[in-house]
Amino acid sequence: MDAIGCTLADMGGLPMNRDLLLALLASHTPFDSVEAAFVCQTLDFVRNDEDFASRFNPAGHLTGSAWVVNEDTSQVLLIHHAGLDRWLQPGGHVEDGDLFIADTALREAREECGITGPVRMESVLYDLDVHPIPAKKAFPAHLHYDFRFLVRIAGGSALSAQPGEIHAVKWFTTGELDQAQLGPSISRMLAKLPSPPV
């Protein structure tokens, strides 16, 4: 049970089930040709790879991310990832107990950002990205098929970074992000937000 008083299943969340994953992907409207290609690539992966959700699949696996905004969408919450030395949205691998890909996104946001209060999370897919992860130790280079969900929380909430993996958690105004050139993936998610009131 989440702080908002319902389970993700009550919200129409997505079980780790191939047919429902495929339905979620099929119902998503890509923002541009780049995201459309990611949708096609992910559909093919989920249809044809038996271990699509396993983080130990050497070809790649699903991940869940949260695009965390304040209520009027004038601010976006990002983490500074220690290993990648970049500002990113919170997210990560599917773990045991994540019945829904949206569960993964919300759990990672709470863990990485220290979010403890109520949230409003959309049950539809907000964005989809496919990106390469370099080889590390014994694990080969592979792909992350990242399912992203829009999460709203109160702006200025007291937050804390997860020790070790995350250097910092910070609210950015949409204007700051627009000027920061943080990469095409974040630029695409930013462009999808409705304009905040003036």
Rounded average pLDDT over 149-167 = 77
Q: Kind of pairing, strands 91-93 and 60-69?
A: antiparallel
The string of pLDDT tens digits covering residues 100-109 is: 899 999 999 9
Q: Exposed/middle/buried for 105, CB within 10 Å: 0-12, 13-18, 19+?
A: buried
Q: How far apart are CA 132 and CA 145, in angstroms?
A: 9
Decide if 5 is inside a domain. Answer: no
Query: How many domains does the structure of the chain reveal?
Result: 1
Rounded average pLDDT over 142-147 = 96
pLDDT of res. 5 = 31
Decide if 101 is inside a domain. Answer: yes
Rounded average pLDDT over 45-50 = 92
Closest to 34 (Cα-Cα) out of 117, 111, 130: 130
- 97 phi and psi angles, rounded to 5 deg: 100, -15
Decide if 133 is inside a domain. Answer: yes
Comparing 5 with 162, the larger pLDDT belongs to: 162
Q: How high does pLDDT run on average in the chain?
A: 84
Decide if 1 is inside a domain. Answer: no
Decide if 41 is inside a domain. Answer: yes
The yes-or-no verdict on residue 13 having pLDDT over 60 is: no
Comparing 138 with 2, the larger pLDDT belongs to: 138
Comparing 93 with 128, the larger pLDDT belongs to: 128
Decide if 178 is inside a domain. Answer: yes
Indicate which CATH number applies to the domain containing 46: 3.90.79.10
- Which domain, by its residues, includes 40? 18-192
| pTM above threshold 0.75 | yes
Decide if 198 is inside a domain. Answer: no
pLDDT of res. 12 = 39
E strand residue ranges, 3-139: 60-69, 75-81, 86-88, 91-93, 120-121, 127-133
Decide if 4 is inside a domain. Answer: no
The yes-or-no verdict on residue 2 having pLDDT over 70 is: no
Q: Which run of H or of E encompasses 172?
A: strand 166-173
Maximum pairwise Cα distance, the chain = 51
